[in-house]
Structure 1
Amino acid sequence: MTNSKIKCIKLQKTESGASYGQFLITLTKSGQGITIGNSLRRILLNDLGGLAISSVRISNVKHEFSIIPGVREDVLNVLLNLKGIIFKNKKNIKKVQFGRLKKKGPSIVTASSFKLPDHIEIINLKHYIMTISESNLVEIEIKIEYGTGYKLALDTFSKQNSEFLQIDSIFMPVKKVNFKVENIYNNKFNIKERLFLEIWTNGSITPNFALLSAAKILINLFFNIFILNESFILNEKKELFEINQNYFHIPIEHLELSKETYNKLKTFKINTIYDILKFPYQNLIKFNIFDIITIKEIKTTLKKKFNIIL
């Protein structure tokens, strides 16, 4: 097993709310740095999700080429400015949400003017939206969605509601990723590698959380491809027929495991004793899916309650 170590070298936050983090991953084998660096970079840039405005309703506006009475900017510029608002999802709620703005001029409107659900926070509160130069009342409603990557506005108006103008949505919380690999030579002429990883986020998540999320996505990806495929089990087949088949469909709740172990099993869709037995537990450790303490608890409980030996 690779004895890798990771530590955070630097963390900083800008006035706009954006975050930067630098991490060092020490690897025991030469050649692993590029593999890990490339994999993490692609996941960080493509697979992490976030919130963004997908469509906008502006009172008395019929199309994107309209002029909002009393507002210095035209509709296109207002939509472009709205696109730059950065949202933080504090409770990981992924259903569609709405925010509203009601402002009377003369006034400068920023992102902080919007009223949002309690679990959504605006990172760049000072982000400029528009200037209302006269004593006109402007009402705006925004539709906020969760997604990954970049979503183009295929139609000018939303198909669900013709009053809403669609805009391009940028869901990506990670803006930029760089990595560099260096060799380490020791007295025994062994070559190790260390991977320097730099992550820039828009502030909706921290670089630490982004890196952890990317690592979990990679683990789940390989787990679902190889471990859950029964025809690709790497170790010898288990002779399940020797065990009383009445035990097979017993839910794992009957094992009365610790909350942490129970949640881990549920995460990987292990719901019954049979689901546990069909995995060679050595592979679960080898692929860093469960730690030794978790495996030991499962083995001990199976032996004690059902006399099943892994």
Structure 2
Amino acid sequence: MAILDFVKPDKILVTEFSNKKGIFHLKPLEPGYGITLGNSLRRVLLSSLKGFAVTSIKIEGVKYEFSTIKGVAEDVTEIVLNFKKIRLKQIIPGTQKEVVNVVISEKEKIITGKILNKFILGFQILNHDLVICNKEEFLDLKISFTIEEGRGYVPAEEHKKENIGTIPIDSIFTPIVNVKYSVESCRVKQKTDFEDLSLEIKTDGSILPKKALMEASKILIQYLSIFSSEKIDKKEKVKIKRNKKKYNEEFSKMRTLLKSKLSEMDLSVRTKNCLKLASINTIEELVNCNRNSMLKMRNFGKKSLDELEGKMKEKGLYFGMKTSDYKL
């Protein structure tokens, strides 16, 4: 059966474009498709694109994050937060990880992203004016940090701590700074209920907004293509039927057990007599009892209760069972 014709845009209109910002218009869209596409693309853009970030640092002479360094204005916690702000761009294709060893000479007083860039091979720090720390003159400072590839946001706890002195960092891998979308009405011939989707994408400069939009679209297509093919596994239907059959068998078995007499439980004569005196004759009546109230029965002690609970456990029974579910 042919799919009914939808009004679809034949191209995307770009109204603003730079290395870090792009505004894209998609029109005309059928009613409701603006929000559907805008929200889906926004979520994928913010959470699913690959990027690079610093995942750990190590400073010579520092064992823990909550430390200070003699001759450095910032404490280690502040330095860690500054490394977290670093935005990176891959400059050698295929580079997914790099351990950078930095030796700051005595004459350098202000350590910035520009200085760190001198020691990096496969990547480039984009915010080169970012101040990492301020130090006194005539102080050598040795820092090593690891750059890795990832998606979205990964907390420090999820980074593997290699050894003492290595400080894991919360990593913001996503190259997307912000995504906004809006939907307005537009006209197609005489109809005015069609939609114009405006999508504003801001990146950190490591990826062009246009490429980011393309990557997000590909991810959505990969997921949605599963539903548009014959890949829906028919075996799952068989599995569901088997599970349902198993459930029905267990349901029927429990229902029969609850309707049974207490003689089915192979109890001691003393316990049987105590239950009989309390007018408890079926397993259903037994499981409806309160455990604490059992000890109040005449001649029924802790030993009898332990015996009874042991037998009940063997059959998957317990005090306070909801027997109404079994339609008794």
1:128 counterpart residue number: 131
2:153 maps to 1:150: yes
Larger Rg computed on CA atoms: 2
Equivalent residues in 2 for 1:26-37 (5 A)? 26-37=27-38
Q: CA deviation at 1:99?
A: 1.7
What amino acid maps onto 1:76 in structure 2?
T
1:139 counterpart residue number: 142
CA 1:91–1:218 in 2, change beyond 3 Å: closer, same or farther? farther
1:244 counterpart residue number: none
**For residues 51-80 of structure 1, what are the alpha-carbon distances to aligned partners after superposition, in whole Å with 9 as ceiling and x for unaligned?**
011100101111112222221111111111
Structure 2 unpaired stretches of 5+: 235-328
Equivalent residues in 2 for 1:36-185 (5 A)? 36-91=37-92, 93=94, 95-106=96-107, 107-114=109-116, 115-154=118-157, 158-185=160-187
CA 1:176–1:29 in 2, change beyond 3 Å: closer, same or farther? same
1:259 counterpart residue number: none
Equivalent residues in 2 for 1:176-215 (5 A)? 176-189=178-191, 191-215=193-217
Q: CA deviation at 1:89?
A: 1.9
Matches of 2:193 and 2:160, distance apart in 1 = 57
**For residues 121-155 of structure 1, what are the alpha-carbon distances to aligned partners after superposition, in whole Å with 9 as ceiling and x for unaligned?**
11111111111213111011111111111111118
Q: CA deviation at 1:225?
A: 4.6
Matches of 1:164 and 1:228, distance apart in 2 = 49
Structure 1 unpaired stretches of 5+: 14-18, 233-310
Matches of 1:186 and 1:163, distance apart in 2 = 64
CA 1:228–1:175 in 2, change beyond 3 Å: closer, same or farther? farther
- Which structure shows the higher helix fraction? 2
Picking from 222, 225, 228, the partner of 1:223 is 225
Matches of 1:10 and 1:209, distance apart in 2 = 14
TM-score under structure 1 normalisation? 0.67
Matches of 2:94 and 2:163, distance apart in 1 = 23
Matches of 1:73 and 1:154, distance apart in 2 = 23
**For residues 33-59 of structure 1, what are the alpha-carbon distances to aligned partners after superposition, in whole Å with 9 as ceiling and x for unaligned?**
111001101101111121011100101
Contact 2:63 2:164 in 1 (8 A): no
Higher mean displacement: 142-151 or 87-96: 87-96
Aligned residues: 226
Q: CA deviation at 1:116?
A: 4.7
Higher mean displacement: 146-155 or 88-97: 88-97
CA 1:96–1:194 in 2, change beyond 3 Å: closer, same or farther? same
Higher mean displacement: 102-111 or 208-217: 102-111
Matches of 2:93 and 2:224, distance apart in 1 = 24
What amino acid maps onto 2:84 in structure 1?
K
Matches of 1:100 and 1:27, distance apart in 2 = 53
